[in-house]
Structure 1
Amino acid sequence: MYVEVHQRTTMNILWSCLATIFACTWVAVHPNIPGPRESEWLRFRRRFATMFYAVIAPEVVTLWAMRQQSSCCKFYSEIIGWFRIPDDESLQWTLSHGFFIQMGGFIFSQDCEPASVITFKQLQHMIDNKIIDLPSLSEEDILDKSKGDLLTKILVVLQMTWFIVQCTGRWATGLPVTELEVVTLAFAFLNIITYSLWWNKPQNVQRAVRITKKSGAPKMEVEPPSQRRTWLERKFAEDDEGSENWLPWMILITLLVPLKVVRDHDITEETGVLFPSLIMSVLFGAIHLIPWVSSSFPSSTERTLWRICACIIAIEPLPVAIGMGLYRLMGQHRIGTVLKMIMEAVGMSLGCLAFIGLPLYVLARFTLLVLAFTTLQSLPPSALQDISWSSFVPHV
């Protein structure tokens, strides 16, 4: 079939969106380092699971990146303060070192025991107690282990930027954007934020650095002492300790924070990361409202279903965000007893409301993904019209 210069096909739209989604969910995701005894199959399953989370709930991955960036900056500032690192370039620790520790970059072995991944706190304990020396690992050594070079990062950013420019150009010229393009645009929006947070994080490192005990040093208990922490508190701590097992529980944890289940946790500190991520989740959902007025659906049923699902994913994070704001306010200001009780009751009610709506949120996400592909079967002619970029260039 003859295709005019300024026409595009359904297959063009499909491949452009799939390439962008793939860049957002597979190429751009920075997984942690596999354990020393993990098989290749387990590594692939872990990577695929992370991609699945990125497709179904990309907000999870963005929050993961925000927490890692926050913890990484904390690690970096603390280790600089502890050791007053000298001018030796091999001992100049950077944000990449902080990410490397957090993603399981150091394993510790002693007295013929199996090697175990160590956390930042364990590394601190071992250096303070003269069990090991500060690892002599330069940033260049870390980047050499990384499989994601600068060119790959630039290509991913260019792919996402070009897609956003195309969507913006279509709106500027009055051309409709398909539902699949709207879904992909939402992915690109969150992924640009995620990618910027992970810019200094090594990517796809397959082997950790082994650290051995100094001769004559006391034996180190790798596992931290048993602490009286709840299951939910342990899940809160897992990401700071470099674990990807934290991902599936993020939504549950986020919803339970306003319920104040984790009573001993620093709620004010946690909301410093969770609250901005929830606002971004609202914006992510709001992008799906674009087809409300700018798209032609094949049927009124599909239009109504899309609108309902888009409203659900845009509104669902709001109760949690408001609850977070209330608890942050209570943590930063002195509030009267009666007002505090009212605010706690409101926060708990909002948390319960969001928790009840969680199944609807998941169902709405699946429904939007399905509709995004099924609506490609009946596109209006204007949706297949390509952008005439020459119209943006001033000319006589």
Structure 2
Amino acid sequence: MNNTCFTFPSSAPGQAAWVADPSCRGTFGIALLCLSTTIVCIWSSVHRNIPLRRLSTIRSLIRDAPLVLVALFAPELLFYFALNQYLCSRNLVKIAEKKFDHHFTLKHGFYATMGGFAIKHVDDNGVETSPIKKLTHGGVTELMKRYPDSIPDLSLESITDREKSTNLGKALLIVQVLWFCLNCVSRLAEQLPLSLLEVTTLAHGLFTLLSYAMWWSKPLNIDAPTQVTLAPTYSVGIFGTTSDSVPKFSDLFSAPGFVTVGSRWRVVDFSVTTTISFVYDILHFLAFQARFPTRIERELWRVACVVVMSSGLLNITSIFLAMESQFSWSHRWSDAGSVLNLTAYRIIPFFYLLASGYLLVESIRQLWYLPREAYVVASWSYYIPHWL
């Protein structure tokens, strides 16, 4: 290592009473810090729903793979998913306040929204008459409204005892992500450049904190749901159920609260989606004046930023117009609806993933073309402890 990275005090000849940490960092240090923070973000932000039955380790990894990919390439989409689950859970709490005499907390709401209740039909002899199915958020809502007595009175301890995480573990992860974010802010305050990888990791870190805030009360890694036994006389055809223990990637887009064609249009979904896409991508604009390996790569970075930023607005607009076309008797509108569906669910997501992938790849490639100032360590970071 270059000895100019160290400052030796002249307290005594040939002796240093106190030696400060090096004032520079290396390429490996930058990559390791960003990689470790990204792993922390992905690992901590994946709050999977409850499977219908206990899964093996392999099947559990397969189940988590879609959420891991979303957390890696589209952390803002994961935050939108978390926000919708939070709103759905809070809605269940409001319904429970009117229907239940017992305590029903936000953690209970998350437990129900994430597939915590499964229906089991039995006849008069106690024999199962149909396969066990999980209740979706809509199913739990209807069950609470029509048959509130069928919802078990679960104590808060009975849920927390089945979790595989603690608030201390969550807090430590948040501290690490906060340290990285503050380190980036400090570099900007001291007019030290950020690498593209740090910019990308910063965006991941901020949206991990936001997702964590929404999912703070959500139980983590519960193995199986609570079974709700219903008699054949109960009209359960109205309930939303699912028997899939390993969801498809597309299930993320039909999760509770997501706007889908045929569902009720809500202005809040429009505003939230576009705002989230804008806020996530505005962070990448911090690197507009960064040093790139070539001019073409710099222009591609800017184009990718615009694509990611505008995708939320374009996608929701296409969905809205497609929904409007369903209520039109015109064949022209019907054909337009098909085109808009293709645009909303195929074309825009394709270009969005392509742009997000480029931002990630270019962030790694730029590590070999950083300016000298990028290797200078921000002064305050010496004194803030961290462990990754």
* Same-fold call, TM cutoff 0.5: yes
Q: Is the 8 A contact 1:179 1:291 kept in 2?
A: yes
| Residue of structure 2 equivalent to 1:80 | 97
Q: Which range is displaced more, 383-392 or 242-251?
A: 242-251
- Counterpart CA distance in 1 for 2:197 and 2:376 is 16
Does residue 248 in structure 1 map to residue 245 in structure 2?
no
Q: CA deviation at 1:202?
A: 0.6
| Residue of structure 2 equivalent to 1:234 | none
| Residue of structure 1 equivalent to 2:282 | 286
| Residue of structure 2 equivalent to 1:276 | 272
| Residue of structure 2 equivalent to 1:338 | none
Q: 3-state DSSP class of the match of 1:202?
A: coil
Does residue 304 in structure 1 map to residue 299 in structure 2?
yes
Q: 3-state DSSP class of the match of 1:306?
A: helix
Which AA in structure 2 matches 1:118? L
| Residue of structure 2 equivalent to 1:96 | 107
| Residue of structure 2 equivalent to 1:266 | 264
- Counterpart CA distance in 1 for 2:382 and 2:144 is 63
| Residue of structure 2 equivalent to 1:315 | 310
| Alignment partner of 2:354 out of 341, 350, 363 | 363
Q: Is the 8 A contact 1:319 1:351 kept in 2?
A: no
Q: 3-state DSSP class of the match of 2:209?
A: helix
Q: CA deviation at 1:221?
A: 6.2
- Counterpart CA distance in 1 for 2:277 and 2:244 is 24
| Alignment partner of 1:175 out of 168, 189, 192 | 192
TM-score, normalising length: structure 1? 0.75
Q: CA deviation at 1:100?
A: 0.4
| Residue of structure 1 equivalent to 2:214 | 197
- Counterpart CA distance in 2 for 1:349 and 1:122 is 32
Which AA in structure 2 matches 1:316? S
Which AA in structure 2 matches 1:104? G
Q: CA deviation at 1:61?
A: 1.2
Q: Is the 8 A contact 1:179 1:375 kept in 2?
A: yes
RMSD of aligned alpha carbons: 3.9
CA deviations 1:184-230 (Å, max 9, x no partner) are 111112222211111111111113223445xxx545565x359xxxx
| Residue of structure 2 equivalent to 1:70 | 87
- Counterpart CA distance in 2 for 1:288 and 1:131 is 48
| Residue of structure 2 equivalent to 1:146 | 163
Q: 3-state DSSP class of the match of 2:288?
A: helix
**Is the alpha carbon distance of 1:279 and 1:249 closer, same or farther for their aligned partners in structure 2, counting shifts above 3 Å?**
farther
TM-score, normalising length: structure 2? 0.77
- Counterpart CA distance in 1 for 2:79 and 2:144 is 32
Q: Is the 8 A contact 2:41 2:204 kept in 1?
A: yes
Q: Is the 8 A contact 2:135 2:241 kept in 1?
A: no
- Counterpart CA distance in 2 for 1:116 and 1:261 is 25
| Residue of structure 1 equivalent to 2:32 | 15
**Is the alpha carbon distance of 1:28 and 1:124 closer, same or farther for their aligned partners in structure 2, counting shifts above 3 Å?**
closer
Which AA in structure 2 matches 1:175? L
- Counterpart CA distance in 1 for 2:205 and 2:296 is 28
**Is the alpha carbon distance of 1:368 and 1:81 closer, same or farther for their aligned partners in structure 2, counting shifts above 3 Å?**
same
Q: CA deviation at 1:72?
A: 0.8
Identity %: 29
| Alignment partner of 2:363 out of 363, 372, 376 | 372
**Is the alpha carbon distance of 1:139 and 1:249 closer, same or farther for their aligned partners in structure 2, counting shifts above 3 Å?**
closer
Which AA in structure 2 matches 1:248? S
| Alignment partner of 2:374 out of 376, 383, 388 | 383
CA deviations 1:73-124 (Å, max 9, x no partner) are 11111121012x1xxxxx3110110110111112333334343323455556
Does residue 54 in structure 1 map to residue 71 in structure 2?
yes
Q: 3-state DSSP class of the match of 1:145?
A: coil
Q: Is the 8 A contact 2:321 2:340 kept in 1?
A: no
- Counterpart CA distance in 2 for 1:273 and 1:323 is 13
Which AA in structure 2 matches 1:290? L
The answer for unaligned runs of 5 or more in structure 2 is 7-21, 325-335, 384-388
Q: Is the 8 A contact 1:186 1:284 kept in 2?
A: yes
Q: Which range is displaced more, 41-50 or 118-127?
A: 118-127
The answer for unaligned runs of 5 or more in structure 1 is 86-90, 227-236, 331-345
Report the number of matched residues.
Answer: 349
Q: CA deviation at 1:29?
A: 1.8
- After superposition, residues 339-358 of structure 1 pair within 5 angstroms as 356-358=347-349
**Is the alpha carbon distance of 1:369 and 1:131 closer, same or farther for their aligned partners in structure 2, counting shifts above 3 Å?**
closer
Q: 3-state DSSP class of the match of 1:210?
A: strand
- Counterpart CA distance in 2 for 1:122 and 1:325 is 25
